Chain A
């Protein structure tokens, strides 16, 4: 396929979950109040969190996939995947703070100080923000080698997100175990690549 066309389709995918959520929200507001169930805010928080995690996994998948199919194209899209991950993580936090807690700053602060799963989730969010904020060409050039080191933050961020999920779960660990397996496999792959003699 034409690379330009491929890239366009790819960008569409990044926005697809957002469009999906947007349609549901529009449905709730103008058409059918039950479109997102009886607890719509909680529903959106979960939805955006899951999508952010998918994009994080996608980012981590780029390197291994790229070694197999040998294309520079995928590598160039990694930045967009990473920014999408941050954008959905931000929506996750916005719907938690704005819709679920309705900007009760005192409770938001209390939770941030006292609830371990919120602390690790927030830390991971900050890391993603740093990564997204330094994802432009100017930063890449300005930071040079340090940029590569800085962007290894994606690994601790991924681990914190998994801990966040483990601590949120009430009894069913199926989902988080599966995601952990995926992320650990990807990290293991990285590590093996690194220790291999050049």
Chain B
């Protein structure tokens, strides 16, 4: 496994940890039986999970997904909730709005514009951008900043593999992502009383982006991403609050300056650039020490303690060594 590029840590700090996690996860997975574990999602028939109208190349690339040692063995949140209970304000702020109002969105054909401090800048067809990259299935916890969480079987390519293909310059310290801006297909983008600016912008430090856990997702539950989940291409950073995992990515920019993200612009006191899951730092308006693992029941709300870095501390805490996580929330 390659050490993350642009990391502030030395090779000695990071590699053994990543390898350690790797080995440990393999052991855990094989103990339970990796095949049995991953079979239900990978071999799921398409009909069980809605109509997949993605182009053939994407479907077949997603179908070849291999299981990942980074996957958790926790109980999956059912498909109907993963795709029916979303925060994707471009389609409306209600949790069921994205499914309701996302159906007119046309994610194909799709192009991604790469700019900034990289050799591989330009505008690319999604197919070319992803060609030859191996899709993996990764079952991650997703912790929303609103104190609920899910367990989701994503399909996607390691972000590091995708970004390396774009040959970022050594001067690139951050990477910014931008969601497509199409008010005619995304009713929420023209909402009059919305307190956030569109297009939606997110960003990561280069070492975060290149971390082996960081995923560029192309599918979920064995199929291509439904519109409400960020079709056709979205970020998944499992140790950060969900709003960092930007959807329907249209632009990637390498930069030497920390990008100003949409939520920071909207309310910097509540939403910081890092947004690492942290039970010790409350949201100014609510506690972050626990979460409701969805689906939650009416008379048993399924509260579980929130873990530092959403339970991925072992492999990512090193990225933030020496940083005051209260200040850089």
Residues of A within 8 A of B (CB): 25, 28-29, 33-34, 36-42, 44, 99-102, 107, 110-111, 115-117, 167-168, 170-174, 177
Partner of A100, one of B77, B89, B294, B301: B301
Q: Are A102 and B287 in contact (CB under 8 A)?
A: no
Of the candidate stretches B120-128, B188-196, B211-219, the one touching chain A is: B188-196
Q: Are B195 and A39 in contact (CB under 8 A)?
A: no
Q: Are A171 and B287 in contact (CB under 8 A)?
A: no
Q: Say yes or no: A99-B299 contact (C-beta < 8 A), given A38-B81, A174-B192.
A: yes
Chain A residues with CB under 8 Å of B287's CB are 107, 110-111
Q: Are A172 and B298 in contact (CB under 8 A)?
A: no
Residues of B within 8 A of A (CB): 77, 80-81, 84-85, 89, 93, 95-96, 146, 148, 191-196, 266, 285-287, 292, 294-299, 301, 303
Alpha-carbon distance A116/B285, docked complex (angstroms): 8
Q: Say yes or no: A38-B266 contact (C-beta < 8 A), given A111-B287, A167-B285.
A: no
Q: Are B296 and A40 in contact (CB under 8 A)?
A: yes
Q: Say yes or no: A39-B196 contact (C-beta < 8 A), given A99-B301, A107-B287, A171-B89.
A: no
Chain B residues with CB under 8 Å of A174's CB are 191-194
Partner of B294, one of A38, A111, A170: A38
Chain B residues with CB under 8 Å of A115's CB are 285-286
Q: Say yes or no: A38-B77 contact (C-beta < 8 A), given A115-B285, A174-B193.
A: yes
Chain A, Cβ-Cβ closest to B95: A37
Q: Are A117 and B285 in contact (CB under 8 A)?
A: yes
Alpha-carbon distance A117/B286, docked complex (angstroms): 10
Chain A residues with CB under 8 Å of B96's CB are 37
Chain A, Cβ-Cβ closest to B96: A37
Q: Are B298 and A40 in contact (CB under 8 A)?
A: yes
Chain A residues with CB under 8 Å of B84's CB are 37-38
Q: Are A33 and B297 in contact (CB under 8 A)?
A: yes
CB distance from B300 to the nearest CB of A (A): 8
Provide 16 A-B residue pairs closer than 8 Å at the C-beta atoms, listed in order of the A residue: A34-B80, A37-B81, A37-B96, A38-B296, A39-B85, A39-B148, A39-B295, A40-B297, A41-B296, A41-B301, A100-B292, A100-B301, A102-B303, A111-B287, A171-B196, A174-B194
Alpha-carbon distance A180/B178, docked complex (angstroms): 34
Chain A residues with CB under 8 Å of B285's CB are 115-117, 167-168
Alpha-carbon distance A170/B87, docked complex (angstroms): 11
Q: Are B296 and A39 in contact (CB under 8 A)?
A: yes
Partner of A38, one of B85, B146, B286: B85
CB distance from B88 to the nearest CB of A (A): 12
Alpha-carbon distance A126/B295, docked complex (angstroms): 33
Q: Say yes or no: A172-B89 contact (C-beta < 8 A), given A39-B292, A115-B285, A167-B285.
A: yes
